[in-house]
Structure 1
Amino acid sequence: MISPYADCASARDTAARFVAEHCPWADLDAVQVVVTELTANALRHTDGWWRLRLRAERGELTVELDDSSPALPEARTPDFTGGGGGFGWPMVLSLAGRVEVHRTGTGKTVRASWSRRPEAA
């Protein structure tokens, strides 16, 4: 999914279809919140393109969002007075099993992943 042809809602819906088809074991709510936050941050904090990639292989779900900004995500004090943000990045960090951020030649990639838990005996 590549901008400007999609928005947060489209990205969230794409993630829901992907999870249902390829990794129904994943926490869909967590995946959708992470996708929404990463997409919203790309829309809010970059002035260029972004690309969402979803991958499921060997018991792991990976969500990657590339964007045109080299600025790395920063945790900020949440603004409880309204409008200042600061809630999204902590949610991403707490909902994903693992989060990595890498600068690229054209911006950065944020990767969130979840591993399938072994079934209880």
Structure 2
Amino acid sequence: MNTKPHVVIEESPHLETSAGMDSAGARTATAEFVLQHCPWADLDAVLLVVSELVTNAVRHTAGWWRLHLTAGADTLVVEMDDSSPQPPVAREPDLSGRGGGFGWHMVRRLAGRVEVRPLPYGKRVRATWVREAPGTASGC
């Protein structure tokens, strides 16, 4: 039997005033899922990626988003589907104090692998983490 634990969070449509609640709910569900199914994963990194993906979906789409988490024996996959066909764009970080431009760089750095795929109804951003084999972790 090869069943994988998973959870889906759906918010549709998003409202400007609910962006904080959307992100908080996604982070809470993600933390519970990772602690239960992938305790080996860097929880802080996963939560930052989820927060960024939710925030981008709320800010840059005109509709819904769906967060899907899947765990295998040695993998954690975070998928964000949303209604926009436009892929994320890496921007030059704005150091002027207004902020912005850091998120997509952060997602690509924190996740082991990041893919963006078009869907008939928008796009899917997939971030994947793979557990390191014992003895291969880099350290000081």
Whole-angstrom distance in 1 between the partners of 2:34 and 2:96: 35
Structure 1 counterpart of 2:3: none
Q: Once the 2 structures are TM-superposed, how far is the Cα of residue 58 of structure 1 from its aligned partner?
A: 3.0
What runs of 5+ residues in structure 1 fail to find an aligned partner?
none
Whole-angstrom distance in 2 between the partners of 1:93 and 1:44: 19
Task: Pick from 77, 90, 96 the counterpart of residue 81 of structure 1.
Answer: 96
Q: Deviations over 1:67-118 (max 9, x none)?
A: 0000011100011123351000000000000000000000000000100111
Task: Pick from 7, 10, 23 the counterpart of residue 2 of structure 1.
Answer: 10
Whole-angstrom distance in 2 between the partners of 1:93 and 1:110: 11
TM-score (norm: length of structure 2)? 0.83
* Aligned partner of residue 21 in structure 1, secondary structure: helix
Superposition pairs of residues 55-66 of structure 1, within 5 angstroms: 55-66=70-81
Structure 1 counterpart of 2:32: 17
What runs of 5+ residues in structure 2 fail to find an aligned partner?
1-8, 15-20
- Aligned Cα RMSD in Å? 1.4
2:118 is equivalent to residue 103 of structure 1: yes
Whole-angstrom distance in 1 between the partners of 2:65 and 2:28: 17
Identify the range of structure 1 (15-24 vs 4-13) with the bigger mean alpha-carbon deviation.
4-13
Matched positions, count: 121
TM-score (norm: length of structure 1)? 0.95
Work out which of the two has the higher radius of gyration on C-alpha atoms and give 1 or 2: 2
Structure 1 runs (4+) greater than 6 angstroms displaced: none
Structure 1 counterpart of 2:62: 47
Letter in 2 for 1:54: L
